[in-house]
Structure 1
Amino acid sequence: MNLRCLSLVAAATLTAALLSSCTSGKNLPPLATAGPVDLQRYSGLWFEQFRLPNSFQNDEATAEARYTPQPDGSVRVVNTEVRPDGTRKTATGTATAVPGSRNSRLRVKFDGLAAIVPAAKEGNYWIIRLAPDYSAALVGTPDRKFLWLLSRDRNLTPARRNEYVQEARRQGFDTSRLLSRP
């Protein structure tokens, strides 16, 4: 299977997984999100610090995400998985804010085969906690199956990471399963 085809399959899997995850978890209160998010400030390069395991990311890989605001108000998304051997896998797509969410909930649709899978009405990228200076963001899905901590720096201090782990736990995520960036 060539790299382009593999990337399309990965993007389709990611979209399907995120779409299926957007129903509220059983016996959990609604997932709280961050206050208003300025998508201009949110744009730029982010580094994954930790995540819950999922079927579309290699457990040993790390990820980078670049968000670029577009003139129509959407955000271009470029996710890059970096594997231990240095190989990279990239998926691109578009994020749009869910009306009434103050930009804290986004619908992300990836290009290629994944474009045929519609994004959930309530969004599949919820910004749960955002540092006031936009240096770190905790992102997840309302069913608590998917979770990422992103930061502007490649590495956060253990104390800072722990703040976000505690928030994720408080919000009902299974933090015992977190995969951390080396």
Structure 2
Amino acid sequence: MRLTPILLAPFLAVACSTQPDHRPDTAPPPTVAAVDLDRYAGLWYEIARYPNSFEAGCTGVTAEYGLNADGTVSVTNTCFKGSLDGEKDVAEGTARIVEGSNNTKLKVKFAPDWVPFASGDYWVLALQPDYSAALVGSPDGKYLWILSRTPQLAPDVLAALKQRATDLGYATAPLEMTLQPEQG
């Protein structure tokens, strides 16, 4: 049976609305001043995340960003189900830069182009000066991630990113640490 886009709309609306809000402040949080996409592109390891349905049971999560000729950003998210040796799951999407944001706000979409209203906010909320770690999330508090260029993050950097999240009104208690392989 094939569903038309009109029939899918109610299901997408319900799926998008079930994620809890971990940021009660309704004013949008500030992002970093600017992001150099050439430096931001590449592989990032997920260190921590808010629980969400699309990453349930995921370990060894990575996100890889690439620059496309049309000005968009390719997004390849990879995880291993259940354990680091589990089944590999890959999701590919595209992000577009929100105009006037100095590359700090993106709209990411993993659904086919014909699916309306299926993009999510991806805001860069904190970024180490050397682009080694970042705090990213949605302004509504439904999604939050701590990312690193390496599978593990120094405890002081992790603490600083969690503190930045708190300062921006995000709850940090719901953050789940992501199992990553040990660095060699």
Question: Structure 2 length normalisation: TM-score?
Answer: 0.79
Matched position secondary structure for 2:156: helix
Note the C-alpha offset of 1:27: 3.8
Aligned-partner residue type, residue 125 of structure 2:
I
Note the C-alpha offset of 1:61: 2.3
Alignment counterpart, residue 37 of structure 1, candidates 30, 35, 38: 35
1:115 and 1:81 map into 2 onto residues whose CA distance is 26
| C-alpha spacing 1:133/1:20, structure 2 compared with 1 (3 Å) | farther
Partner residue, 2:87: 87
| C-alpha spacing 1:48/1:97, structure 2 compared with 1 (3 Å) | same
Number of residue pairs the alignment of both structures matches = 163
Report if aligned partners of 2:25, 2:169 keep a CA contact under 8 Å in 1.
no
Aligned-partner residue type, residue 94 of structure 1:
T
Larger Rg computed on CA atoms: 2
Instruction: Provide the identity percentage.
Output: 42
Q: How does 1:57-136 map to 2 (within 5 A)?
A: 57-83=55-81, 84=83, 85-112=85-112, 116-119=115-118, 124-136=121-133
| Larger helix fraction of residues | 1
Structure 2 residue runs of 5 or longer lacking an equivalent are 1-10, 180-184
Note the C-alpha offset of 1:86: 2.3
| C-alpha spacing 1:103/1:162, structure 2 compared with 1 (3 Å) | same
Report if aligned partners of 1:109, 1:115 keep a CA contact under 8 Å in 2.
no
Report if aligned partners of 2:105, 2:121 keep a CA contact under 8 Å in 1.
yes
Note the C-alpha offset of 1:118: 2.8
1:87 and 1:63 map into 2 onto residues whose CA distance is 12
Partner residue, 1:157: 154
Q: Post-superposition, which runs of at least 4 consecutive aligned residues in structure 1 deviate over 4 A?
A: none
1:60 and 1:174 map into 2 onto residues whose CA distance is 21
Q: CA RMSD in A?
A: 2.5
